[in-house]
Amino acid sequence: MEFFKSYYEKIPAILKNKYILVGGSIFLWIAFFDSHNLVKQVKLKSEMKELEDKRDFYKTEIRNDSIALHELTTNPETQEKFAREKYFMKKKNEDVIVIVKEDE
């Protein structure tokens, strides 16, 4: 019995306090073992940041595409440019020459 008594006396008083032990146990439970633990919360926060970045990217892309679509539907010069570049269309008196650069 004196063997345990000598070890018990060496433990600091703060670790013998039952409130500190219970509080530490609750903190460990919340931090690592709970279904909404801190580790999971950090992962979810980083995933949320990633999704917000994607959302912002797609919002700007939608805005740019909306502007381009408006230009295509209202401006005949833009329509002609698009048709020439995308579909290689030409006027009756023109020849289309496509230059393809080979990779070196």
pLDDT digits (tens, 9 = 90+) for 18-60: 998 999 999 888 888 888 888 899 999 999 999 999 999 999 9
pLDDT at res. 104: 64
**Taking the alpha carbons of 35, 36, 42, 44 in that order, is the dihedral positive or negative?**
positive
CA–CA–CA angle 31, 32, 35 (5° rounding): 95
Yes or no: say if 90 and 96 are a contact pair by the CB < 8 Å rule. yes
pLDDT tens for 61-98 read 999 999 999 999 999 898 888 888 888 788 888 887 77
